[in-house]
C-alpha cells in the first residue's frame, strides 16, 4: 500500500518526524501537499472532509480506510506495521514514551519564538520570546538533553537497545538537528555535556537508509517552522 | 496485579487522567505519593532510580518489571490491557489520537498562566499571561472544543462510537472540568456552541463506575495545578 501523507508544504515541521520514518523504513508514500498544483486550501479541504477519524491538524496519514493523525500516533502505527520499533509490549511502550517526550520538547522549542500565540507574528511577541528563550536555554534544554543522555547511557547505541534504530532514534536526530539550527551557540556549549546524544545525532545522520533522502530536495531546509533561528534568542 | 502509581501529591494534575481510568475501570492501584510518610523527595528518588525505562516526569505507573510514563502512553497501556478502548487497530489508534489532542490542549491551558517558565511564579509572568489568555479564550478554546464537538456529532454518545466509554471520554470529561474551573465565564458563553461536549461531560460525571470516586477525598480539588482560576485571565 502507498500511504497518502499530508503536511503543510514549505517547512519540515512535525511532518518531518513522519517522513524520516517513512524514508528510513523504505515505505512507499505520496507527499500529497507537494504534488503539482496542490494548494494549502486543498490540504484544508481534505483534512476537514467528513470521515470517521478527522485530524485536528496535520500531519496525517491516509492508510486505506484509516486516517491517522498526531505525529506520535502515526509513528506508533508505522512502528508496529513496518517493524520500526520493538514488537514486544515493553519495547513498544518505551519507544512511544520517548517519542512523546521528544514531542514535549518540540512544543517547548516552538513556544520559545511564539510564547503568546501561534497566530501572531514573532515580532508581535518578541519581548516575551526573549524571556522565554532564557528559560529554555538555561533550564529546559539541559533537563531534556540530560534525560536523553541518561537513556542512551543505559540503552547503548539505540534508544530501544539492541543493534537497530527505532523511529524514536530518527526523531531524536531531528530534534537535535532543529536545536543545532535554532540555538547554535547554546548547543556548542551543551554538546560537551551530552556526548551520547550528539553521537546519536551523527549516527542517524550517517545511516545508509537515509543517505539518498538527506541529500535530496525532499528534505526541506530549516526555516520558519517549529525551529527558528533568531540571533537574539540564542546565547552560549 | 496491583499497579504502583506515582504522581505529585496535592494537585490533580496530569495524574488525574490516569486515576480516572484506573477508578472507572475498577483496576487496583496504590497511590504511592499519598501513602503515609511519603514525601515529594521519595517520588524524586523513585523516579530517578536506575531502571530500563526511566520517566522524564510523573505520572508514571509501575506494572511488574515495567515502568510506564507519559500520560497518553500509560492510558494506551491500560486501555489495551483492561479493555478501556476498542481492541481493533483503527479504534485503538483513534482513541490514542484523541488523547494526544486532549494533551495538547491541556499543555496550552497550563501555559496560559505560565507562558514564560514553569519554574517561575505566576506573578512573575502575569503580564504575559494576560496576553496569552486572550488568545486562548478567543482562538484556541473554540478551535479545540469545536473539534471535539465535531467528533461527538460523528461518533455519538462516546468518542469511540458504540455504547461504552473509553479512556478518552474520561479524559475529555476531566479537560472540560478543568476549563469550567479555570474559565467559568468563558465556558458559560461557549457551552451554547458545544452541546455535545457539555453532554459528554455530564454523562461521564454521572457514570456509576465513577460515583464513589468522585464523591471521595481521593478526587483532589482543583487548585494550583495545570488548570488555575485567576479572575483576570477569564472573560465571557
Give residue-wise pLDDT tens across range A108-161.
999 999 999 999 999 999 999 999 999 999 999 999 999 999 999 999 999 999
Please tell me whether the peptide bond between B59 and the residue prior to it is cis, using omega within 30 degrees of 0: yes
Please write the tens of the pLDDT for every residue from A217-228: 899 999 999 999
Contact predicate A23/A208, CB 8 Å: no
CB atoms within 10 A of CB A215: 9
* Separation CA A195–CA A208 (nearest Å): 22
Cis peptide before A59 (omega within 30 of 0): yes
pLDDT digits (tens, 9 = 90+) for B159-203: 999 899 999 999 999 999 999 999 999 999 999 999 999 999 999
Cβ A58 vs Cβ A47: under 8 Å? yes
Q: By CA distance, what is B111's nearest residue in A?
A: A115
Interface of B with A in 62-81 (CB under 8 A): 65-66, 68-70, 72-73, 76-77
pLDDT surpassing 90 at residue B1? no
Q: In angstroms, rounded to a whole number, what is the distance separating the alpha carbons of residues A76 and B229?
A: 36
Q: What is the mean pLDDT of residues B86-92?
A: 97
For position B217, what pLDDT does the model report? 87
Q: How far apart are the first and last CA of chain B?
A: 47
Q: Using CA atoms, how far apart are residues A92 and A57, in angstroms rounded to an integer?
A: 25
Specify the pLDDT at position A217. Answer: 87
Q: What is the strand order of the sheet A29-31 is part of?
A: A29-31, A3-6, A60-63, A66-69
- Assigned CATH for B3-82: 3.40.30.10
Query: Would you say the ipTM is above 0.95?
Result: yes
CB contact burial B143-156 (16+ within 10 A = b; e otherwise): ebbebbbbbbeebe
Which residues 6+ apart lie within 8 Å of A47 measured at CB? Answer: A6, A54, A55, A57, A58, A60
* Grid cell for residue B65: 518489571
Please, which residues have CB within 8 angstroms of residue A9's CB and are 6 or more apart in sequence?
A33, A34, A38, A40
Angle at A57 between CA A103 and CA B233, to 5 degrees: 75
Q: Do A52 and B154 touch (CB under 8 A)?
A: yes
**What's the pLDDT at A66?**
97
Residue A125: list chain B partners with CB under 8 A.
131
Q: What angle do CA B7, B8, B10 make, to 5 degrees?
A: 125
Grid cell of A22 as nine digits: 517513512
Contact B73 A100 (CB under 8 A): yes
Q: What would the mean pLDDT of A164-181 be, rounded to a whole number?
A: 98
DSSP state of B222: P
Q: Quick check: B128 contacting A, CB < 8 Å?
A: yes
pLDDT band (50, 70, 90) for residue A1: confident
Q: Can you tell me which residue has the cell 505520496?
A: A30
Query: Residue holding cell 540555538?
Result: A183
Q: Where are the domains of chain A?
A: 89-207
Task: Spell out a b/e string for A46-68, using b for 16 or more CB atoms within 10 Å of the CB, else e.
Answer: bbeeeeebbbbbbbbbbbeebbb
Which of B92, B97, B149 should we substitute to test contact with A (largest number of A Cβ atoms within 10 Å)?
B97
CA atoms within 13 A on the CB side of B69: 20
Separation in Å, CA B136 to CA B132, B171, B183: 6, 20, 10
Q: pLDDT tens digits for B47-58?
A: 999 999 999 999
pLDDT tops 90 at residue A25 = yes
Per the CB < 8 Å rule, is A101 touching B56?
yes
pLDDT by residue (tens digit) across B6-31?
Answer: 999 999 999 999 999 999 999 999 99
C-alpha to C-alpha distance for B21 and B3, rounded to whole angstroms: 13
Q: Mean per-residue pLDDT for A160-170?
A: 96
By percentage, how much of chain B surpasses pLDDT 90?
99
* Percentage of the residues of chain A whose pLDDT score is greater than 90: 99
A156 CB neighbours in chain B (<8 A) are none
List C-alpha distances in Å: B121 to A112, A141, B106. 18, 20, 19
Does domain A89-207 bear CATH number 1.20.1050.10?
A: yes
A132 and B151 within 8 Å at the Cβ level: the answer is no
pLDDT in tens, B105-124: 999 999 999 999 999 999 99
Is A1 at the interface with chain B, CB within 8 A? no
Judged by a CB distance cut-off of 8 A, whether residue B120 touches chain A is yes
Q: B87 vs chain A: nearest CA distance in angstroms? A: 14
pLDDT tens track for A43-97: 999 999 999 999 999 999 999 999 999 999 999 999 999 999 999 999 999 999 9
C-alpha cell at position A73: 500516533
pLDDT number for residue A165: 98
Cβ-defined contact of A90 to B132 (cutoff 8 Å): no
3-state DSSP call for residue A68?
A: strand
Instruction: Say what the pLDDT of residue A229 is.
Output: 98
Average pLDDT, chain B: 97
**Contact with chain A for residue B144, Cβ under 8 A:** yes
Asked if A12 contacts A110 with a C-beta cutoff of 8 angstroms, the reply is no
DSSP at A139: I
- Cell output for A188: 556548542
> How far is Cα A151 from Cα A200, in angstroms, rounded to an integer?
11
At the topology level, CATH places domain B89-210 in: Glutathione S-transferase Yfyf (Class Pi); Chain A, domain 2 (1.20.1050)
Amino acid at each position: 500500500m502507498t500511504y497518502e501523507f499530508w503536511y503543510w508544504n514549505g517547512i519540515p515541521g512535525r511532518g518531518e518526524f513522519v517522513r524520516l520514518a517513512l524514508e528510513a523504513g523504505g515505505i512507499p508514500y505520496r507527499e500529497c501537499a507537494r504534488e503539482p498544483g496542490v494548494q494549502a486550501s486543498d490540504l484544508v479541504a481534505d483534512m476537514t472532509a467528513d470521515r470517521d477519524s478527522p485530524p485536528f491538524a496535520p500531519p496525517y496519514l491516509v492508510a486505506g480506510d484509516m486516517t491517522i493523525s498526531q505525529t506520535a500516533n502515526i509513528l506508533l502505527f508505522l512502528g508496529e506495521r513496518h517493524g520500526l520499533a520493538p514488537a514486544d509490549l515493553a519495547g513498544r511502550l518505551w519507544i512511544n514514551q520517548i517519542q512523546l517526550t521528544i514531542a514535549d520538547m518540540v512544543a517547548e522549542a516552538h513556544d520559545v519564538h511564539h510564547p503568546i500565540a501561534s497566530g501572531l507574528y514573532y515580532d508581535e511577541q518578541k519581548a516575551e520570546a526573549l524571556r522565554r528563550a532564557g528559560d529554555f536555554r538555561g533550564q529546559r534544554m539541559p533537563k531534556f538533553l540530560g534525560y536523553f543522555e541518561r537513556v542512551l547511557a543505559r540503552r547503548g547505541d539505540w534508544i530501544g537497545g539492541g543493534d537497530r534504530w527505532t523511529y524514536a532514534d530518527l526523531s531524536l536526530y531531528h530534534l537535535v538537528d532543529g536545536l543545532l539550527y535554532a540555538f547554535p551557540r547554546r548547543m556548542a556549549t551543551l554538546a560537551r555535556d551530552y556526548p551520547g546524544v550528539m553521537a546519536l545525532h551523527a549516527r542517524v545522520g550517517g545511516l545508509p537508509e537515509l543517505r539518498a533522502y538527506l541529500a535530496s530536495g525532499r528534505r526541506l531546509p530549516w526555516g520558519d517552522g517549529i525551529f527558528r533561528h533568531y540571533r537574539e534568542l540564542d546565547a552560549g
